[in-house]
A = this chain, B = another copy of it.
């Protein structure tokens, strides 16, 4: 069921145009909001088939349109490549979808204010309600731990699985000397979380400069505040989408 006889996986079925446009918009939104630089990618699980996911071909995220969206199985083989190339790092998406049935969307960025937290021993914390999901804890994936000296790229199923193992049940994991991966139960929530991970990192840096203990959200507050975010993230989505339409 997962592949044709030639090894090309079968499609999970047609996807509504509006869904593809939202996924493409998510990519442009994250570029517009300063989370994606000239790289970065977001994906979503296929709405009709949990063993497939949708993700742009390799392209600067500010330029992604619906026609650039490809479909992959969880081994990251394209169902219908049409001559398009996927990102080298699609394996981090495939392996997280495999490991986390609750995850419906993933964003991977080189979000600039977040990277320092993957380089030092200071854990990221939830500086305010918009970043409530960080209160669950933010693990750091150091590719050296399992793979030694590498080119840093999460370019194989094994590396993707190792990252997924570090992410565990959390919404965010940092990648040492590389970037961050953010997941959510919906596309909108993944976008919302990617934006506010970046903003919270800037705030934590500034709070650190001021000195003394930081009265961040604790885990219980984070859980409650995150539920509010998930219920109201449409307000941000509509604004952000309008800016890139």
Contacts and interface: CB of A to CB of B under 8 A. Distances in A.
A123 to B, nearest CB: 10
Interface size, A (range): 35 or more
Interface in A47-78: 58-60, 62-63
A178 B129 contact: yes
A152 B225 contact: yes
B129 A152 contact: yes
A240 B38 contact: yes
Q: How many copies does the complex hold?
A: 4
A28 to B, nearest CB: 12
Interface string A114-125: 011111111000
Given A203-B115, A209-B209, A238 B60 contact: yes
Given A38-B239, A207-B116, A214-B119, A128 B178 contact: yes
A208 B214 CA distance: 16
Contacts of A211: 120, 122, 208
A221 B59 contact: no
A213 interface: yes
Interface in A121-176: 121-122, 126-130, 132, 142, 144, 149-153, 176
